[in-house]
Structure formats: C-alpha cells, structure tokens
C-alpha cells in the first residue's frame, strides 16, 4: 500500500553531513526532516579528524566549544619511513587546530542539538523521480524490512547526504566513483593508565604498500588506521573484527613495537575495514550537482581518499554553505508566491550553493588525487614526476587547505 504526503525539505542520511546540514538549516530558522535507513544513528569509521576549517564551521553551528572539551589539540606531525631495516624520520610541522574524536561523539552532539522529531530512523530511499506536473522530487521509501511498507513523499527540496553509495547521486547521474586498490582498517586503543605518546599526528610507512597512522584523542584514548594495498585487487574486504585484527597484525609485524602493541591491544568492537573510493576532480569540475530542487553534499558529492583528513570538515562546510544559500533566497517566498516562482527561487539557491562549493572541492580532490596516483599504484616514472611537480607547483603549502573559511552561516 502506498500513500502520498507533501513536506518541504528532506535530507537523506543521518551521518555527519546530514546532521550538520539539518542543524545549519535549524539555526537559520528553516525546518527539515532527516531520513536515515539504519535503525540507529550510524557512526561507522571509528574516529574523525577535524581541521581548522571544520572547527570554524562547528563554531558557526554552535557546537564547537562542546567538542573541544572531549578532544585535545594535536601539536604537530611526524613520519617514519622503514626501508631495508633503516628508519628515516620526517617532521610534518604544526597542523594548526587539528583534533581527532570519536565519530559517534560528533554524531551525538549534532543530533542532540536538533529539535525533537527531526530525525527519522529506519527509512530507506529506493528511488527518486520528478513529479511531471510540478517538477518537485518524489522519493519512494521503504520502512522496516517488509517490501509492503512503502510510501511516496513529494517534497520541495531533496538533499542527498547518503554517502559514497548515494541513491540521490545516482538520480543526478553522477559518474561512478574511482575504486582504489587500497583498504583502510580503523580502530581505537584505550590505555587505562595513560599513554606516553605526544599529542601529534604520527605515521609510519613501509614503502608504498602499507602505512599506519596514529592520532591521540586524549591522554588515554588513541585512534589508529592502517592503509594498505589490496592483494589481489579483487579481494573481498573483511567484515569480522577478529579476522581484520589478525590480518592487520600479520601485515605490520615488522613495524616498531609500540605500533604493533597499539593494534594488538585495540578495542575489537571498534575495528572496521573499508575499500577506499574517490570522486575524480574532473567530475567535480563538470558534474551536474543540481537537478530541479535536488542536490547532494558530503561524500555523496565529493568522496575522496583520507590522505588529507578533510572528508568530515569539507562535509560540514557543505552544510553551512547550503543552509546560507537557501536562507538568503527563501526570504523571497511568501504565501502568495506561485509554484513556478517558488521552484525558480529554490533553484537559484541550489545553483549558488554548487557554485560556491565547486572550485573548493576541485582543489581538495585534485590534491588528494595526486597523492592517490603516487600511492594507489606504481605509476611510470614520468607520471610520478608530473605528480610531484604538480604538488610542488600548486600545493607547496601542503596544509593551506586547512585555513579555508567558508564564511558565516
């Protein structure tokens, strides 16, 4: 049995981007509904790094100070490279205001800052179409596990914050993402008596095949990740935490003792593994991110490798800019505004949002993609030299992207 109802703004996905977008709209006095397919708020990924640009956005949303109390600032960065039994150490410099936190903590504070009734769990979007008469988006939803629990909702604005495998992005006909031959394993390690690590981002690598990163959250909790090439390329990503833990330990057995012990003593329930994907810079440059009153944000728009730790911060930027653009235009709508004029005003707001975000995301994606070309495969010498020259030419200040300011909400 299908039923039709009309609401105004629907956000698909209750991850960081979806909740940040809903909160930004709420701060501007605009009501929205967030639909999440899971039966509980999802917090996959264990930890998340928020850079200076992300903290500026959280301050605009009114939750920055709350999060700073739970995550200590990282004071710098250090890299170790292992080669033929020798260790080379490199200073990565100060990383401005960079903090790592539990993703679940950020999800919780964003959700708790929203009005009751904003988030609806257990709603999975099956398809998106446009109403032939009004051109408003219509979404088909499934609630629960039964295929009979279907409903159709017609709405004025649809914002897809539904991650890398976005149904909304498919509706916009965005090009498929680049599937990398890299996996990332993530987890937490708790040190009840405290750890002796510096409050810094630390990474240690062995050639181009495997790299371990460590980011302390506070004096007792550490977030870690392991990036490694998938062999063979078609190998299935493991789902069982115990198996992931065992395979990861085998792959890093030659690493420094403190690194091996960190992963050996990790919280098993926190361990997960994913295949890394990336949206190409040229798709961000020419892709159509608006059709009617439908658009995307976060990973649905610009999923990128983790090498710049900007996925979360850039997604929060999206929410702030999108809410600002909508708020600036929606004041032109009143009860007398007819349907055509209403749709035109909303379209202008979404076009402005896409325009403001496009080049920022192109530069982020390009910088990340050049690193991917160097890490994900073994490129010919000429390609490697070109990548290095482009990085030096356009991204000589490696951390400049963290100083970006998307503006006030």
Considering only CA atoms, which of 324, 254, 289 is closest in space to residue 159?
Answer: 289
Give the per-residue SS3 of 346-409: HHHHHHHHHHHHHHHHHHHHHHHHHHHHHHCCCCCHHHHHHHHHHHHHHCCCCCHHHHCCCCCC
Q: Which residues pair with 214 in a beta bridge?
A: 202, 224
The token pair that represents 240 in the structure block: 């069982």
Give the Cβ contact number of residue 374 at 10 Å.
Answer: 17
Residue 242 pLDDT: 94
Instruction: Report the distance separating Cα 160 and Cα 182, nearest Å.
Output: 26
The token pair that represents 244 in the structure block: 């992931």
* Phi and psi, residue 341, nearest 5°: -65, -40
> pLDDT digit of tens for each residue in the chain (409 aa)?
344 445 689 999 999 999 999 999 999 999 999 999 999 887 666 889 999 999 999 999 999 887 777 777 887 777 777 766 555 555 555 557 888 999 999 999 999 999 999 999 999 999 999 998 888 999 998 887 555 566 777 788 999 999 999 999 999 999 888 888 889 999 999 999 999 998 888 999 887 788 999 999 999 999 999 999 887 655 667 789 999 999 999 999 989 999 999 999 999 999 999 999 999 999 999 999 999 999 999 999 999 888 888 999 999 999 999 999 999 998 887 656 777 788 889 999 999 999 999 999 999 999 988 888 877 666 677 777 888 888 888 888 878 899 999 999 9
Instruction: Report the distance separating Cα 90 and Cα 93, nearest Å.
Output: 9
Query: What does DSSP say about strands 221-229 and 178-190: parallel, antiparallel, or unpaired?
Result: antiparallel
Domain extents in the chain: 4-69+104-177+279-403, 74-100+180-276
Give the Cβ contact number of residue 385 at 10 Å.
Answer: 11
Q: What is the pTM of this model?
A: 0.91
Instruction: Report the distance separating Cα 113 and Cα 108, nearest Å.
Output: 9
The token pair that represents 282 in the structure block: 């040229």
Query: What does DSSP say about strands 98-102 and 73-74: parallel, antiparallel, or unpaired?
Result: antiparallel
The class of domain 4-69+104-177+279-403 in CATH terms is alpha beta
Give the Cβ contact number of residue 238 at 10 Å.
Answer: 18
Residues 341 and 43: beta-carbon distance below 8 Å: no
Residue 189 pLDDT: 96
Residue 271 pLDDT: 94
Considering only CA atoms, which of 244, 238, 237, 235 is closest in space to residue 263?
Answer: 244
| Same-fold call for 4-69+104-177+279-403 versus 74-100+180-276 | no
DSSP assignment of 107-155 equals HHHHHHTSPTTSEEESEEEEEEEE-TTT--EEEEEEESS-TT-EEEEEE
Instruction: Report the distance separating Cα 294 and Cα 235, nearest Å.
Output: 35
Query: What does DSSP say about strands 123-130 and 272-278: parallel, antiparallel, or unpaired?
Result: unpaired
Residues 96 and 52: beta-carbon distance below 8 Å: yes
What is the rounded (10 degree) CA torsion for 163, 168, 173, 175? Answer: 0
Q: Looking at domain 74-100+180-276, which of 3.20.20.70, 3.30.9.30, 3.30.420.40, 3.30.365.10 is its CATH number?
A: 3.30.9.30
What is the rounded (10 degree) CA torsion for 237, 241, 242, 244? Answer: 30
């Amino acid at each position: 049995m299908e039923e039709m109802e009309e609401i105004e703004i629907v956000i698909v996905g209750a991850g960081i981007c979806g909740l940040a977008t809903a909160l930004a709209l709420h701060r501007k006095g605009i009501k929205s509904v967030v639909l999440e397919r899971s039966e509980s708020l999802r917090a996959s990924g264990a930890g998340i790094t928020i850079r200076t640009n992300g903290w500026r956005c959280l301050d605009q949303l009114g939750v920055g100070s709350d999060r700073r109390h739970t995550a200590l600032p990282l004071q710098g960065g250090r890299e170790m490279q292992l080669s033929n039994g020798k260790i080379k150490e490199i200073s990565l410099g100060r990383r401005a205001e960079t903090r790592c936190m539990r993703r679940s903590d950020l999800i919780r504070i964003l959700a708790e800052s929203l009005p009751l009734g904003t988030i609806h769990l257990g709603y999975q979007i099956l398809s998106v179409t446009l109403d032939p008469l009004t051109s408003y988006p219509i979404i088909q939803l499934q609630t629960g596990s039964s295929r009979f629990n279907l409903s159709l909702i017609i709405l004025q604005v649809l914002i897809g914050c539904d991650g890398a495998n976005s149904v909304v992005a498919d509706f916009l006909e965005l090009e498929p993402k680049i599937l990398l031959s890299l996996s990332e394993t993530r987890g937490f390690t708790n040190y009840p008596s405290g750890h002796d690590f510096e409050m810094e981002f630390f990474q240690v690598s062995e050639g181009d095949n495997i790299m371990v990163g460590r980011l302390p959250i506070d004096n007792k909790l550490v977030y870690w990740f392991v990036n490694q090439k998938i062999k063979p390329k078609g190998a299935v990503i493991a789902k069982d935490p115990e198996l992931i833990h065992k395979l990861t330990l085998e792959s890093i057995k030659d690493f420094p003792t403190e690194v091996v012990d960190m992963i050996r003593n990790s919280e098993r329930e926190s361990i997960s593994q994913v295949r890394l994907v990336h949206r190409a810079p040229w798709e961000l440059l020419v892709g159509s991110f608006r059709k009617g009153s439908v658009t995307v944000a976060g990973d649905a728009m610009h999923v990128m490798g983790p090498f710049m730790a900007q996925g979360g911060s850039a997604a929060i930027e999206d929410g702030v800019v999108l809410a600002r653009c909508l708020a600036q235009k929606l004041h032109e709508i009143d009860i007398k505004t007819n349907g055509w004029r209403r749709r035109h005003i909303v379209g202008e707001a979404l076009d402005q949002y896409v325009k403001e975000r496009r080049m920022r995301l192109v530069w982020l994606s390009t910088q990340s993609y050049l690193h991917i070309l160097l890490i994900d495969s073994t490129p010919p010498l000429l390609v490697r030299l070109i990548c290095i020259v482009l990085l030096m030419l356009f991204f000589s200040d490696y951390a400049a992207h963290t100083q970006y300011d998307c503006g006030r909400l």
